[in-house]
Amino acid sequence: MQDNVHVIRSGVDERRRRPYLENVWAARRLDPARGSLLAQRMAADGLDTGFGDVDEVSWRSFVRHTAAVAGIGAGDSVFDVGCGAGAYLYELSAMGCTVGGLDASEALLGYARTALPGGRWSHSDASELDVDERWDVVASCGVFLYFPSLDYARGGLARMARKARRSLMVLEVPELAKREATEAMRRRLRGEEAYAAKYDGLSHLYFEKAWFEATLCAAGFSRIRIADRAIDGYANSATRFDVFAWPDARPPGPPR
C-alpha cells in the first residue's frame, strides 16, 4: 500500500494543505450560458475541464446505472459527500429520492440548493460528516481524488459507513495502478504546457482497489462490488473505478 502517493507531513493541519479546495472548487461559479439547470451544474462540478464532452444523456445514464447497482429506488434517501452543485443528485431527485449533501464550497452548495430546494444541505468538510443522522445510501462521486491523504480518506470512508443505513458508494476513484497512463493521457488531451500551467501543484490522490476492500471490511461492509464502467464521453473516467458496499449482518470486527 503506498501511503506516500500524496506527500503529507504528520502534524500539519490537513485543511491548510488542500490546494484543490482552495484554488479550484471554492472559485467555481455557475455559467448560465451552459443551458439547462443540469448542464450548468455538470459544468460547475468539473465535467467541463477539457477531458471530454459528457452530455446530459450520458450523465443521467451513469447516475441511473450506479443507482441501480446500489439498489436505489423512489422514496430512498441519498446523501452525497462532496455534492458540489448537485449534478449527481439531480437525476436521483427526478427519480423520487430524498436528496442531501455536504460540500466545502459554499458557492457550489448554493447552486445545489437552488436546483434542488427540497434537499438537505450542509456547508462543511467531509471530515465533519454527521454520522448520527443516518441515510439509506451515502454516496461520494468524484471527490476522493481531492482528499489530502489516505489517512484522511480512511476517516471519511469510516464516517460514510456509519451514516449509511443500507449501502454506500464511492464513484470515480482514480486507480493507482493506472496513475502514469492517466497522467500521460491528461497531459496529451490538454497539451503539455497548458496542463503544466493549470495543474501546477494540484495532484490527485490515487487508490488501490484492495485499499477500499480492506477499509470497508474494517468498517463492517464486507459485501463489496468494484466496477470499471466509465462515463461515456469522459476521458478521465476510463481509468477510474466505482465502489459499492453493503453492511454485514454482523457487527464490524477488529481493524485489519
Ligand X SMILES: C[S@@+](CC[C@H](N)C(=O)[O-])C[C@H]1O[C@@H](n2cnc3c(N)ncnc32)[C@H](O)[C@@H]1O
Residue ranges that bind ligand X, judged by CB under 6 A: 21, 25, 45-46, 80, 82-84, 87-88, 103-105, 108, 125-126, 141-143, 146-147
CA separation for the pair 111, 220 (Å, rounded): 34
Smallest separation, CB 8 to ligand X (Å) = 14
Q: Cell 450520458 appears where? A: 58
Smallest separation, CB 224 to ligand X (Å) = 21
Residue with the closest Cβ to ligand X? 84
Q: Residue 102: in which H helix or E strand, if any?
A: strand 98-103
Q: Which amino acid is at 222?
A: S
Q: Which three cell numbers stand for residue 61?
A: 445514464
- Give the closest residue to 99 by CA, choosing from 121, 114, 84, 82: 121
CA separation for the pair 93, 98 (Å, rounded): 6
Nearer to ligand X, 66 or 221 (CB): 66
Smallest separation, CB 182 to ligand X (Å) = 16
Smallest separation, CB 152 to ligand X (Å) = 7
CA separation for the pair 184, 178 (Å, rounded): 10
Nearer to ligand X, 171 or 219 (CB): 171
Nearer to ligand X, 70 or 83 (CB): 83
CA separation for the pair 108, 29 (Å, rounded): 7
Smallest separation, CB 251 to ligand X (Å) = 28
Nearer to ligand X, 104 or 158 (CB): 104
Nearer to ligand X, 152 or 221 (CB): 152
Secondary-structure percent of the chain, ordered helix, strand, coil, rounded to 5 = 45, 20, 35
Nearer to ligand X, 238 or 252 (CB): 238
CA separation for the pair 96, 77 (Å, rounded): 9
Nearer to ligand X, 81 or 216 (CB): 81
Smallest separation, CB 125 to ligand X (Å) = 4
Q: Which three cell numbers stand for residue 10?
A: 504528520
Smallest separation, CB 130 to ligand X (Å) = 13
3-state secondary structure of 63: helix
CA separation for the pair 234, 161 (Å, rounded): 28
